[in-house]
Structure 1
Amino acid sequence: MLVKICGITTEKAAQAAVEAGADFIGFVFAPSSRKITVEKAKEISTTLSPTVHKVGVFVNETVENIASIAEAVNLDYIQLHGDEPASIAEQLPYKIIKAFLVKGNMKTDITNYPCDYYLVDSPKAGSGETFDWKLIHKLSLDHRKLILAGGLSSENISQAIKQVNPVGADVSSGVETNGKKDNEKIKEFIHLCKNKEGKDDIDGNIYDA
């Protein structure tokens, strides 16, 4: 199973995630308590193993600014976490993760969005709150492209995997203590996600969770 540790702001947390087996490291470039400067993200990026994929999280940003930051930080993926139309994704020469906030009245036809992964999140993204996972089934998404986010932690990730069967899990506040990344929580979360035999391939050759 793929794991993304998001909201990385320090080299220490990034290295802890990589050493524990994270597949993606997320840098937030949108307004947030976890927002990181381009300079700091670039500094951390240069220390990372090429085995981990660097993701930049943006919310309703211009194509020009996204591309500029992506080049500076050497990003592998762009995560669009706002109301970006498909045309934005199509203009970016990067792999795309598109976030969708799951709620009862949300648009259900999202399968045509041009992206490599769908990330389904709580309506209050970044709040640490979960949502009704049963709503995901209404979206008819290819689970081989589905990353689950929203209030995940070591306490609920096993149940989430069992119920949703995503190819990946995204966590931020669930591996923090007092608003800071906790190395032990990072290790525990990743261990629980990857507690099956075999290793997931970044291109999704192994999907069973």
Structure 2
Amino acid sequence: MRTRVKICGITREADARAAVAAGCDAVGLVLHAPSPRAVTLEQAGLILAQLPPFVTRVGLFMDAGTDAVQAALEALPLDLLQFHGHEPPEACDAFGMDYLKAVPMAEPGWARAFMARYPRARGFLLDSHGPGQAGGTGRTFDWASWPGDVDRPLILAGGLHPDNVAAAIARTRPWAVDVSSGVEAAPGIKDPGRITRFMSEVRRVDRESADA
């Protein structure tokens, strides 16, 4: 199986183009003002205009009010929502949009019970636990706690970078990986070379798995 890749925390049009050129499957925009990777709706619109068809446009929210999410949906051509806070299932379901729910991997063994609360989620993003942070913590979690056989796609996040993503994929076999700080030169500023290396490592481990 080919591992999909989402490059999250894009803040510049040039970085979106670099992610696309490297072959990413999705681009994530942080619509959570406290984050160093946050963008305004105007900035988000300019970034999304750089994306060709078949690259998924993801809007990340963290404990945002209904009005804020609705305003983003009216202003931006988003394909997928990502809820990264303490949103209850009914809040995530309210917009009639496909969404991912982030699962903070704080305690071993609790991921399955957490995911069962969100039957309408299209997938789950398993991330390192950072209170009040919309991802981008730069920290991994214990991959041994990966829940394995789940009936919906699982996305691995948390502390991934070009030097560990192959090992992470080999250990967990996720549907997709999500990277933000691991391909940056500075918070919110992506490094095209690191993006390319990250993508190359994902492709390498996928080839090795297919040949095994």
Same fold (TM > 0.5): yes
1:9 to 1, 8, 11: 11
1:153 equivalent to 2:157? Answer no
User: 1:140 offset after TM fit, Å?
Assistant: 5.3
> Aligned to 2:51, which of 48, 72, 80?
48
Partner Cα separation in structure 1 for residue 49 and residue 186 of structure 2 = 27
Structure 2: which 5+ residue stretches go unaligned? Answer: 208-212
- Which deviates the most, 64-73 or 98-107? 98-107
Residue matched to 2:24: 22
Distance 1:87 1:155 in 2: 38
SS class of match (1:119): strand
Partner of 2:71, secondary structure, is helix
Matched, 1:103 2:112: no
Secondary structure, counterpart of 1:49 in structure 2: coil
**What TM-score, normalized to structure 1?**
0.88
Rounded Cα–Cα distance in structure 2 between residues aligned with 1:178 and 1:46: 23
Q: Does 1:36 align with 2:46?
A: no
Offset at 1:70? Answer: 2.2
- Take 1:77 and 1:111, find their aligned partners in 2: how far apart are those partners? 18
Whether 1:129 aligns to 2:139 is: yes
Indicate if the aligned counterparts of 2:61 and 2:81 stay in contact, CA closer than 8 A: yes
Q: How does 1:69-80 map to 2 (within 5 A)?
A: 69-80=72-83
**Larger deviation, residues 154-163 vs 67-76:** 67-76
Deviation at 1:3, TM superposition (A): 0.4
What amino acid is aligned across from residue 187 of structure 1 in structure 2?
T
RMSD: 1.8
How far does residue 126 in structure 1 lie from its aligned partner after superposition? 1.9
SS in 2 for 1:109: helix
**4+ aligned runs moved over 4 Å, structure 1:** none
Determine which of 186, 189, 192 is the counterpart of 1:183.
192
The answer to whether residue 85 in structure 2 is matched with residue 82 in structure 1 is: yes
CA contact (8 A) 1:103 1:135 kept: no
The Cα of 1:193 is off from its aligned counterpart by 1.5
Distance 1:103 1:136 in 2: 12
The unaligned stretches of length 5 or more in structure 1 are 198-209
Secondary structure at the aligned position of 1:192 is classed as helix
User: Aligned residues: percent identity?
Assistant: 38
Contact 2:61–2:82 (CA under 8 A) maintained in structure 1? yes
State the secondary structure of the residue aligned to 1:111.
helix
SS at match of 2:115: coil
